[in-house]
Amino acid sequence: MHTARRRPRPHLLVLDVCAASVVTAAYVAMSGYDASDGLPGFTGPWWVSLLIAACVGAPLAVRRLWPLPVLAVVLSASAVATLLDITRDPYLSTALAGYAVALFEPTRRAAVALALTLLASAAAIGSGEAVLTPSGSWSEAVGKAAFAWLALASAWAAGHVVRERRGRAARRKRRVVEETLAQERLRIARELHDVVSHSLSVIVVKAAVANHVAGQRPQETLDAVRAIERTGREALTEMRRALGVLRGDATAPPGHGSVPPPGLDDLPLLVQRAEQAGIRTELHTRLAADLPSGTALTVYRIAQEALTNVIKHAGGGTHCQLTITADPRGGVGIEVLDDGAGNAPVSDRAGLSGGHGLVGMRERVMMYGGAFQAGPRPGGGFAVSARLPPEPAHGPAASREETTA
C-alpha cells in the first residue's frame, strides 16, 4: 500500500547529513590503506578515491527525500569501491540507503530494489575479492558476500517494520476520526429528531383538528391555530439551541443569544404541549437529589420522545402518566405509561418498535450504562421505562452528553 510521503523532520535531515559526513570521511580514510592488513589496497589517483568516497557517502544526506536514486548512486559507488579495493565494510552505506527505500517506497518496489541490491553486491564482492585482486578463496568471498547480505537485509527489514507500524498507526487514527465523525452525526441526528419530532407531532395534531372543525366551530379552530403558532415558536427556540450547539457557542454567556438546555423544570411545559394535542397527562416527580445538567437533559429528552410517541401512535383521548424518580444517590427512573384508549388506529402502534424514537432513547440510556425497556402493556397501551445509574458507567460518553448540553 502506497502512503503519501511526508516531508522529513529537520532533525532527521541533520542526522542524515552527519551520517553522510562520517561515511565519506571513512571511505577517504580507507582509500589510503595499504596491504598491511592482508587485503589489497587502492593504488589509483587520489582524486578518484575522493570522488568514490563522495558518491558512497554524500547522497545519504538526502536519502529520505529521494530514496531510490540515492540507493542507486550509493550501490554503484560501493560496487566500484569494492572492485578498486577501497571497501573494508559490509556495505553499511548501502544498508542505510536501503533502509530509507524500505521505509518510504511501496513494498513491492522496495522488494525489487532489495533483490537488485543483493545481486549487485554479491557480484561486486565476488569479482573484487576472488577474481580481480584475489585475497582469499571463493569460500571467503562467499562469506563476505553473506555478511554484506545480512547487513543489507537487516536494514531493509528494519525499514519495512517501521513502515508497517506507521501504517497501522495511521489506520488507527483514521478509524478514530471516522468513529468520532459517526458519533457526532448520530448525536446531531438524535438531537434534531428530539427537537423537531415532538413539535411537529403537536402541530400535525392541532392542524388536523383545525381542518376538521373549521366550518362548524370557529373558536376551536382559532385555538388550534394559536397552539400551532405557539408550538412553532417553541420549536424554533429549540432549533436555535441545537444549531448553537453545532456552531460551538452553547457556552455563550447569558444575554448573548444563548438558550439554556431543557431540564426537569421544563417538564410541565412538555406536559402542557401533550395536553394541547389531546393527551390527558399526569406528571409525578419524586426527586431526592439534584441531577447534573447532562442527566437532566437526558431525562427530559426521554420523556419528550415518549410523549411524542403517545401523540403520534395513541392519539387524542389517551390517558398518560409520566413519573420521574431520583433517589438520594443520584439514580434516576423514568416511566411513561399510557392506556392506548385514544382515537389512533391500533395498527399504527404496531410499528412503533422500529422507529427512530425508541432507538434514540435506548442510545441515550446506554450512554449512561442504564437499562431501557419499551413495549405494549398487557392490559392495553404502551409502556416506556428507563433507569439511569447514579454515576455514568462510561465517563467519556457522559461527558460528551454534558458538553452537548
pLDDT mean over 9-38: 81
Strands 371-376, 382-388: pairing is antiparallel
Q: What percent of the chain has pLDDT over 90?
A: 25
Which of 364, 367, 277, 370 is CA-nearest to residue 330?
370
Which of 73, 113, 116 is CA-nearest to residue 93?
73
Show the cell assigned to 183.
458519533
Containing H/E element for 383? strand 382-388
Q: Using a cut of 0.75, tell me whether the model's pTM lies above it.
A: no
Check residue 357 and give its pLDDT. Answer: 72
**Does the pLDDT value for residue 108 go beyond 80?**
yes
Residues of the chain with CATH 3.30.565.10: 264-405
Q: Dump pLDDT digits (tens) for 310-336.
A: 888 887 788 999 999 988 888 899 999
Bridge-partner residues for 376, per DSSP? 382
Q: Dump pLDDT digits (tens) for 125-160.
A: 878 776 666 666 667 778 888 888 999 999 999 999
Mean pLDDT, the chain, rounded, equals 78
Cα separation, 72 vs 60, in Å, equals 11
Enter the DSSP assignment of 61: G
**Range with the poorest average pLDDT among 261-265, 315-319, 400-404:** 400-404
Check residue 176 and give its pLDDT. Answer: 87
Cα separation, 269 vs 49, in Å, equals 91
pLDDT class for 243, splitting at 50, 70, 90? low
Check residue 198 and give its pLDDT. Answer: 63
**Does the pLDDT value for residue 402 go beyond 80?**
no
Max avg pLDDT among 81-90, 203-212, 392-401: 81-90
Q: What is the dihedral of CA 216, 222, 223, 225, to 10 degrees?
A: 120
What CATH topology corresponds to 264-405?
Heat Shock Protein 90 (3.30.565)
Check residue 1 and give its pLDDT. Answer: 47
